[in-house]
Amino acid sequence: MSPVTFGVIGIAAVLLLMALRMQIGFAMAVIGFLGFAVLNSFPSAFSVLGHEPFKTAGSYGLSVIPLFMLMGQFAFISRMGAEAYKTLYYWIGFLPGGLAMATIGACSFFAAISGSSLATAATMGMVALPEMRKFKYSDELATGCLAAGGTLGILIPPSTVLMIYGILTQQSIAELFIAGFIPGIILSLLFILTIYITARVWPEQGPPGPRFTFPERVRSLKEPWGIFALFLLVIGGLYAGWFTPTEAAAVGAFGAFLITLIKGRLTWKTLVESLMEASKATGMIFGILIGAYILQYFLTISQITDHLVGWVVGMGLNRYIVMCILIVIYLILGCLMEGLSIIILTIPITYPLILKMGFDPIWFGVMITVITEMGLITPPVGVNVFVIAGVAKDVPMYRIFRGIVPFIFAMLVLISLLLIFPQMALYLPHTMSR
Amino acid sequence: MGVERLASRLGSLLNPFCRGLGYIASVTVFALMCLTVADILMRKFLNQSILGTVELTELMMVVIVFLTLGFSEMKDAHIKVDIFTSKLKRPTQTLLDVITQFLAFLLFAFMTVSVLRHALVMQRVGEVTQDLWIPKYPFLYLTALGCAVLSIALFFRFLEFLSERLKP
């Protein structure tokens, strides 16, 4: 049997083990080990097991992971997201659908200090849902905008998915973060437009909220200072080239820590909880990363990636057709699996392909981030939907999914825009100081 | 019955132990943040970096990652896809879990042994870090400890599913 055939069988075996509910990272490690043992030798596979974990964990570049996780945790307990919501509520709450628009806005602000979609959805769910209920918003619009808004967490920098993509492809995390910024803002605007149209066509879905006087509005502006300060420092610092990603993450975590402290929201209990949560998430991510690196040994020696790339290129298809096929595959995967795992599992195979076809790696990172974002809210495994369902306990799941449909269209619009105008993602990184 | 008791006893030992390791990792995460910020401040204001920041960061990462692997497993935080098995009958699900968890346990048991071997070599060779001359082998022993704890945690999962499966 040729190595390539082995590679195909290996990939099928990984997928099978994952489908049988094995931990994703461990499935990759088991097959990577066995495959390398068969194609090379047992002693060398055994030696990979001894070297690889230490090498993967003890890497300076990867220290960005626990630090950004910690920043997100502190941002979560600082309640800065709630404050952003309050400000926007004062300014645009009176518009038709205004409370839902304020929710999207606040999600974008919170996303600017947190890299996690779940945290964004959970934070905003607790704050914005009761308000929208009070003003008789339909369940569909209220829960739909929350689940969709939550996905902004991974597109607007910092972003867990872009960070992992950068690590796997050895692309600059700083450039990837900066590249996600404009598409993130455009997606927020598309979401807001979606709400506007919905509230215009069906006014009963999103009735206007209360109106505030101008002085009251101006006063509300002082609340979200923490978010602006942190975002400017962290993402601005990355853009200006002051910090490496690890340093930016540490500064962000420390800043969020100080803000939480100043706002009087840091207790011993929340501090310990934040640290433990950041540690747990780090263990989880490295559980997958170590597996992915071990699998990589097997994939490399099987030469399956080279063959796949050669095969696709040999078909002589237009590269945009290949990209569209990839997008469809990722959309399907997004329905079945969680975003981070999709990226870690597929990048070793698809990344060489897109490089060969002449696509920009930074652009592709943003593209698959948007696609995996969609996966967060599409049935049957829309993780964000489960989070919102946890907050809005009396709303049946199918109504949340129904509320999400218009937002999925907004995301498809963004994907098309990105395909047509790659500059949307690439303009800012090109202007960065290096 | 024997399996069930063994599982529960192992669980009652593992949970506090993994939590303890999680606490140490948490303190290390906080220390890593402080070290990095201090390094930046020193560089900006005193024009001098802290010697060995990079290698300290790398060693701290080893501590963080390997002390949390088992902790994350005990919290069931390692990502799984359950959409395909959720439609199966419960006994079939448990049988599959018994098999996959045993496989995972075996792998990490292997890994523990292999890392230990690597650690022994490093101890004999006496490899140290570049700037601060910190010996590397203690961190390899820690890696082995982390892998061992994870493999025991996976064995615990295996026992749990097995005891459920064996129930009449």
Each of the 168 residues of chain B gets a pLDDT tens digit; together they read: 588 889 889 999 999 999 999 999 999 999 999 999 999 999 989 988 899 999 999 999 999 999 999 999 998 888 888 778 888 898 899 999 999 999 999 999 999 999 999 999 999 998 899 889 999 999 999 999 999 999 999 999 999 999 988 887
Q: For residue A258, is it left (φ>0), alpha (ψ between -120 and 50) or beta?
A: alpha
Q: How many CB atoms lie within 10 A of CB B114?
A: 22
Residue pair A370/A187 in contact by the 8 Å Cβ criterion: yes
| Residues of chain B found within 8 Å of residue A254, distances taken between Cβ atoms | 33-34, 37
| Residues of chain B found within 8 Å of residue A253, distances taken between Cβ atoms | 33
A68 occurs within a structural domain: yes
Domain count, chain A: 1
A21 occurs within a structural domain: no
Cα separation of A422 and A363, whole Å? Answer: 7
Q: How many CB atoms lie within 10 A of CB A423?
A: 12
Cα separation of A129 and A132, whole Å? Answer: 5
B92 touches chain A (CB under 8 A): no
B37 touches chain A (CB under 8 A): yes
Helix, strand, or coil (residue A36): helix
B121 touches chain A (CB under 8 A): no
A5 occurs within a structural domain: no
pLDDT tens by residue, A280-308: 999 999 999 999 999 999 999 998 888 88
Q: Check pLDDT > 60 for residue A277.
A: yes
By C-alpha distance, the chain A residue nearest B100 is A22
Place of tokens 């803000």: A259
By C-alpha distance, the chain B residue nearest A339 is B79
What is residue B147's predicted lDDT score, i.e. its pLDDT? Answer: 96
pLDDT: which is higher, B112 or A315: B112
Nearest by CB: B114 against A27, A47, A272 = A47
Nearest by CB: A59 against B61, B70, B93 = B61
Helix, strand, or coil (residue A16): helix
Cα separation of A107 and A121, whole Å? Answer: 8
- Please list, in sequence order, all residues whose beta carbon lies within 8 angstroms of the beta carbon of residue A423, skipping any fewer than 6 positions away: none
Helix, strand, or coil (residue B67): helix
Residue pair A244/B37 in contact by the 8 Å Cβ criterion: no
| Residues of chain B found within 8 Å of residue A27, distances taken between Cβ atoms | 100
Q: Of A434, A349, A20, which Cα lies nearest the Cα of B101?
A: A20
| DSSP string covering A209-262 | -----HHHHHHHTTTTHHHHHHHHHHHHHHHTTSS-HHHHHHHHHHHHHHHHHH
DSSP character at residue B135: B
By C-alpha distance, the chain B residue nearest A74 is B30
| Residues of chain A found within 8 Å of residue B57, distances taken between Cβ atoms | 60, 63, 246
What is residue A27's predicted lDDT score, i.e. its pLDDT? Answer: 95
Cα separation of A368 and A330, whole Å? Answer: 7
Beta-ladder partners of A426: none
Packing angle of the helix pair B90-125, A42-57 (nearest 10 deg): 80
Q: What is the pTM of this model?
A: 0.91
A6 occurs within a structural domain: no
A50 occurs within a structural domain: no
By C-alpha distance, the chain B residue nearest A44 is B114
Task: Output the six-digit token pair for A275.
Answer: 């640290």
| Residues of chain A found within 8 Å of residue B100, distances taken between Cβ atoms | 17, 20-22, 27
What is residue B117's predicted lDDT score, i.e. its pLDDT? Answer: 95
Mean pLDDT of A153-161: 89
A36 occurs within a structural domain: no
- The overall average pLDDT reported for chain A is 91
Task: Quote the minimal CA–CA distance from B2 to chain A in Å.
Answer: 25
| Residues of chain A found within 8 Å of residue B61, distances taken between Cβ atoms | 57-60, 62-63, 66
What is residue A364's predicted lDDT score, i.e. its pLDDT? Answer: 96
Q: Check pLDDT > 70 for residue A434.
A: no
A389 occurs within a structural domain: yes
Sign of CA dihedral A92, A97, A103, A109: negative
By C-alpha distance, the chain B residue nearest A23 is B80
Task: Quote the minimal CA–CA distance from A391 to chain B in Å.
Answer: 21
Whether A27 sits inside 8 A of B118 (CB atoms) is no
Beta-ladder partners of B128: B135
Whether B64 sits inside 8 A of A66 (CB atoms) is yes
Sign of CA dihedral A405, A410, A413, A415: negative
| Residues of chain B found within 8 Å of residue A18, distances taken between Cβ atoms | 80-81
Mean pLDDT of A17-46: 94
A24 occurs within a structural domain: no
How big is the CA angle at A36 (ends A339 and B152), to the nearest 5 degrees? 65
| Residues of chain B found within 8 Å of residue A341, distances taken between Cβ atoms | 79, 81
Place of tokens 């994703």: A24
User: Which domain, by its residues, includes A197?
Assistant: 61-285+306-430
Q: Check pLDDT > 60 for residue A205.
A: yes
